[in-house]
Chains A and B, each alone.
Chain A
Amino acid sequence: RKEVEQDPGPFNVPEGATVAFNCTYSNSASQSFFWYRQDCRKEPKLLMSVYSSGNEDGRFTAQLNRASQYISLLIRDSKLSDSATYLCVVNSGNTPLVFGKGTRLSVIA
């Protein structure tokens, strides 16, 4: 089983839609969780950290479920500019970040 698994998509959604991505991780000792966004042929950029209590940043909401070992990202009111690959990232203390393969989102006008 891969350390971090994501549905590769693509998710094709119309503007204004709400879309959610899930990511599962295998290491129960994982401590830090992040969502990164990567545009085509660009570097990954931190979208948001994921906290145990869940956190929201504008249209974006991230949640962590430790019991089921998954994290989620919810995007409300999708914009064309949200089209990108969303990378789930997990860390287990003093170990390197482990990236999922990414989920591709296309927001369509």
Chain B
Amino acid sequence: DAGVTQSPTHLIKTRGQHVTLRCSPISGHKSVSWYQQVLGQGPQFIFQYYEKEERGRGNFPDRFSARQFPNYSSELNVNALLLGDSALYLCASSRAGALGNQPQHFGDGTRLSIL
């Protein structure tokens, strides 16, 4: 079975632009979570979606938004990009909706660079 897949793998944008990152969970997984990992830090939680509804939101500005589709894939959108948004964006999936009480399976991530 395919693992969590993310696209694109790398992306270069300039300040002020917007970006859409995509994620397909493991087959059978209904929960998708998004994390931001800045160099030298651990992943920071951005959003969790389960059954197309937002179940959790981390401490990120409104420039960050996400959604989940009927096939459980998900998009993360970031508007008005700042230099500080440069990071590895990780998507993780799990079977159930309860946040965090089961391990997450991560995709390879999208490496976003803002110039």
Chain B: interface secondary structure? loop
- Interface positions of B (Cβ within 8 A of A): 33, 35, 40-45, 48, 56, 58, 88, 90, 98-109, 111
Cβ B43 vs Cβ A44 within 8 A:
yes
The prevalent SS among residues of A at the interface is loop
Most buried by B among A87, A92, A97: A97
* Shortest Cβ gap from B95 to chain A (Å): 14
Given contacts A49-B103, A96-B48, A96-B100, 12 further A-B contacts (CB under 8 A): A4-B42, A31-B101, A32-B102, A45-B106, A93-B100, A96-B45, A96-B58, A97-B33, A97-B99, A97-B100, A99-B35, A99-B44
The verdict on A96 contacting B99 (CB below 8 Å), with A43-B90, A44-B90, A101-B41 known, is yes
The residues in A between 33 and 47 inclusive whose CB is less than 8 angstroms from any CB of B are 34, 41-46
Flag if B106 contacts A43 (CB, 8 Å).
yes
